[in-house]
Amino acid sequence: MAETRRAEISGAGFAGLVAATALAQRGWQVRVHEKGETLRTEGAGIVLWGNSLQVLDDIGATHDIMSNSMTPPAYETRMDNVIQSQETLDGIRWRTMTRGHLFNSLLLAAREAGVEVKPGSRVVSATADGVLTTADGASTKADLIVGADGVGSAVRDSLGFEVRRERSRDGITRFLVPRRKAELSALEPDTEWDNVIDFWNLDPRVLRVLYTPANDEELYIALMAPAADAEGSRVPIDLDLWTSIFPQLAPVLQDAARIQGRYYGYQTTRVDSWTRGVAALVGDAAHAMCPALAQGAGCAMQNAYTLAVAATAASDDELPAALAGWERLERPYTDRCQDRSQEYADTRAMSQGNQFTGESVETALYEPTDPHRHEKASA
Ligand code: FAD
Ligand code: 5PR
């Protein structure tokens, strides 16, 4: 019988936990190093699409995900509070939830698959032939190394990958607050407050609130402003400014104003290559993107999953070539998603509504667990 193969993973984020689970379910012995002392995720809410939901189906996390998430009736876009579109997204699977819920579901799946997750273990370097070193000085030899350690990846930087970073002019502060549906309905009775509502104002001032119900009790709101707008990008938020522009959201803006918050400038990062020897990068370590298409975590999970499948199919000798082949097949989808997300962020074109058609839904409709996906695409 072949010896059990060993994978060492840096980072217990969405990418690291999916790679770990998918590998363990295919017979690998897997350890995930997480630099944080506690296992948790930062941030507020998240939207997932068919591509990542299919990965969650395959790793067995869907039942738990469904228990506390929702599919809003429509994705509505407003300009100056005038409805531009209400897209029902027919034929597209999508789900909103808190990031905490997604994280807990993934952690549960990882543990059920027998993954060892080690908090308080910071990775300092990795080599192309499979040695991972942590801050306590311990070095481990593995058959596969996965750098899933986010936009500041130590695995990536220690391996000498070249990173290109582009910043966009806008950024966002995100909050998780109570739904307050009755209070919102009292202010605007005709509004469907279960919808995602993307409230845009461009003139005279660029300010936007993306309103995303995450479940019956919790609401994810993201407040966008240009980095150059000191008041708009201030945390905690300037309540008078935001309620003057979005008076119909006053009840939930008041809750947001009590939270410290953090302003994130949009950025896109690209690396020359995703693999070197038996080391591979996934998630923000390889491809941080603007959130416009809500696919950063989606692409992270999709690539983590397909990496696990590709690595399992290869023998030890073949692994470096198999990883390079994985990048060749999968990367174009992520590259295009990054480009489109950046384009949307730079042009603010989402303010026009009617956006979930054609090329912009390529990633949402991608099927990473379908073994025949590439033949179908080239047919
Ligand atoms: P991370 O989530 O950054 O996880 C990396 C992990 O590695 C962390 O736990 C970190 O502590 C750990 N780590 C770092 N360094 C080390 C080290 N040296 N050793 C050990 N551990 C280490 N995506 C969506 O799909 N939908 C959305 O709606 C969405 N909204 C977004 C909104 C905003 C404003 C932003 C900024 C992003 C959004 N994204 C969204 C993108 C998404 O959050 C990221 O793409 C995703 O979290 C990336 O996952 P990851 O696992 O690669 O990295
Ligand atoms: N969609 C989602 C999101 O969280 C953001 C954006 C779009 C779900 C920002 O956080 O365009 O910035 C966006």
Separation of alpha carbons 93 and 185, rounded Å: 27
Outline where DSSP puts E strands in 40-88: 45-49, 75-79, 82-87
Kindly state if the Cβ of 172 falls inside 6 Å of ligand 2: yes
Ligand nearest to the CA of 154: 1
Question: Could you tell me which residues come within 8 angstroms of residue 213 by beta carbon, excluding any fewer than 6 positions away?
Answer: 70, 72, 96, 179, 193, 194, 195, 196, 219, 220
pTM flag (> 0.85)? yes
End-to-end CA distance of the chain: 39
* Residue to mutate (ligand 2; options 210, 264, 351, 360; most atoms within 8 A of CB): 210
CB 219 near ligand 2, within 6 Å:
no
Amino acid making up residue 138: A
Q: What is the 316 CA–ligand 2 centroid distance (Å)?
A: 40
Please name every residue paired with 79 in a beta bridge, in sequence order, or none if there are none. Answer: 82, 200
The region, left, alpha or beta by phi > 0 then psi within -120 to 50, assigned to residue 245 is alpha
List, in sequence order, every residue forming a beta bridge with 87; answer none if it has no partner: 75
Task: Map out the domains of the chain with their CATH numbers.
Answer: 6-74+100-165+267-378 (3.50.50.60), 169-265 (3.30.9.10)
Instruction: Print pLDDT tens along the chain (379 aa).
Output: 468 999 999 999 999 999 999 999 999 999 999 999 999 998 899 999 999 999 999 999 999 999 999 999 999 999 999 999 999 999 999 999 999 999 999 999 999 999 999 999 999 999 999 999 999 999 999 999 999 999 999 999 999 999 999 999 999 999 999 999 999 999 999 999 999 999 999 998 999 999 999 999 999 999 999 999 999 999 999 999 999 999 999 999 999 999 999 999 999 999 999 999 999 999 999 999 999 999 999 999 999 999 999 999 999 999 999 999 999 999 999 999 999 999 999 999 999 999 999 999 999 999 999 999 998 877 7
The neighbour count for residue 258, using CB atoms within 10 Å, is: 12
